[in-house]
Chain A
Amino acid sequence: MKQVTFIAIAVTALALPGAARAQQWNSAGLPQSALAAPKTNAAPAPKRDIAGIWDAGGTGIAGPGHDSAPWTDWAKQKAASYKPGNGPRAVYENDINDPLSTVCDPTGFPRQVLYETRPFQIVQTANQVLILYMFERRWRVIWTDGRSLPKDPDPRWYGYSVGRWEGDNTFVVNTIGTDERSWLDNAGNPHSGDLKVEERYHRVNHDLMELTVTLDDPKAYTKPWTPRNKMPLTLAPANLDLMEMICSPTEVMDFRKNISDRTNNK
């Protein structure tokens, strides 16, 4: 009976995250009570304003990756050497060669919004929208000064982005020029440098925004697809001090030595 009781306790413990996980952050210097105030502000969205800290919660963490459009032959060849830690092609931990988790290459774009959409802050200036990501502590610049996307640009890990408003509550971002060394997600879906990305940030009301991401990469996928479809983002308290979540090569090597390299099945 003791064994059964223990299993029941363990199962209940595992069942808790969805029900009782405390959504608390380590905001140094602030009492938790300052962050715990319930948010009930479903007032209309302010016009042409998406500034603030936004959190997708567990929905933003797409570890297993996404169902993608069918791969082209180019994509099959490109991804043949990818050994992901998640998804249908997941390998043993010590065989993973994901450049993000094994050597701390940049997450890159659009993986930054497809894989671990941890909380991020949006800052609006007169000619830019800045997105500051907690994950990897990186940022993107989205130009809103009317410029065009560059022709045949050199690749960048985070590409080149321009943004515009559609109506008063939807900010649309177009990005090209990404670096095809980055993966799309944790499942080892590839992308080419020809990838075009459209992000739509639709602010539903004061506290809620929806993110839709559409990819068009005819070199790698047989048709466009939408891996993020109206993903809900909740406005976090303005005084939230986001934690660091950085891939440190020193820490990764330590993890490999203690855990990953000892999990092989050979």
Chain B
Amino acid sequence: MKATLVGVCLALLSVLAISAPVFAHHGTASFDTTKDLTLKGTVTDWIWANPHCFLKFDAKDETGTVRNWAVEVSNPTDMTKRGWARSSFKVGDMVTVNLQPVKNGAPIGRLKTVWLPDGSALGANGPPPAPAAPPQ
């Protein structure tokens, strides 16, 4: 059952990866499309700018070392239409971030979904469905 669900999800992801030209500024060459990370951290900056908005946050890795991550989404025009805003984050916010990292191991990635301090969530491609509880 578990394998079936994961299979369905992976199939859906594959379709989406092909059909959604989300990042028009650049392609996927830098990103490790086989990886999916979810990190809890503290917002250090939220840049609302072209060509891509990006969120910076401190999070501990598996060794307990804090690294400052920078994860991008699309541009302000696209993100506004997807329910995001310049005011979506403030420094110090505790967030949970689901992301796809780059291949070289640097703390860089593409944000997929972020859970805010009030438990609500923002999706890089549009509003996530309710209930959108962060993973435990």
Inter-subunit contact A86/B27 (CB<8 Å) = yes
Inter-subunit contact A96/B70 (CB<8 Å) = no
Inter-subunit contact B29/A90 (CB<8 Å) = yes
Contact with B along A4-32 (1 / 0, CB 8 A): 10111111111111101111111000000
Inter-subunit contact A248/B50 (CB<8 Å) = yes
Shortest beta-carbon distance from B76 to chain A in Å: 7
The yes or no answer to B106 lying at the interface (CB within 8 A) is yes
The yes or no answer to A36 lying at the interface (CB within 8 A) is no
The binding surface of chain B is classed by DSSP as loop
Bound Cα distance A77, B28 (Å): 26
Shortest beta-carbon distance from A26 to chain B in Å: 5
Shortest beta-carbon distance from B83 to chain A in Å: 6
B79-99 interface with A by 8 A CB criterion? 80-83, 98
Q: How large is the interface on A (under 10, 10 to 19, 20 to 34, 35 or more residues)?
A: 35 or more
A212-266 interface with B by 8 A CB criterion? 243, 245-248, 251-252, 254-255, 258-259, 262-265
Inter-subunit contact A13/B24 (CB<8 Å) = no
Count A-B contacts at CB 8 Å. Answer: 170
Given contacts A22-B127, A63-B23, contact A258 B16 (CB under 8 A): no
Given contacts A7-B9, A22-B127, contact A86 B24 (CB under 8 A): yes
Inter-subunit contact B128/A13 (CB<8 Å) = yes
Q: How large is the interface on B (under 10, 10 to 19, 20 to 34, 35 or more residues)?
A: 35 or more
Inter-subunit contact A248/B29 (CB<8 Å) = no
Within 8 Å CB of A115, what residues of B? Answer: 24
Within 8 Å CB of B12, what residues of A? Answer: 11, 14-15
Contact with A along B39-69 (1 / 0, CB 8 A): 0000000010111101010000000000000
Contact with A along B1-43 (1 / 0, CB 8 A): 0100110010011001001111111111110000010100000
Closest B residue by C-beta to A243: B77
Inter-subunit contact B21/A61 (CB<8 Å) = yes
Given contacts A21-B82, A255-B54, contact A10 B112 (CB under 8 A): yes
Shortest beta-carbon distance from A7 to chain B in Å: 5
Within 8 Å CB of A93, what residues of B? Answer: 26, 29-30
Inter-subunit contact A186/B132 (CB<8 Å) = no
Within 8 Å CB of A11, what residues of B? Answer: 9, 12-13, 16
Report A's interface with B, CB cutoff 8 A: 1-4, 6-18, 20-26, 58, 61-64, 85-87, 90-94, 96, 101, 115-116, 118, 134, 186, 243, 245-248, 251-252, 254-255, 258-259, 262-265
13 residue pairs A–B, Cβ–Cβ below 8 Å: A2-B135, A7-B5, A8-B5, A14-B123, A17-B126, A22-B127, A63-B21, A92-B29, A118-B77, A254-B47, A258-B54, A263-B30, A263-B106
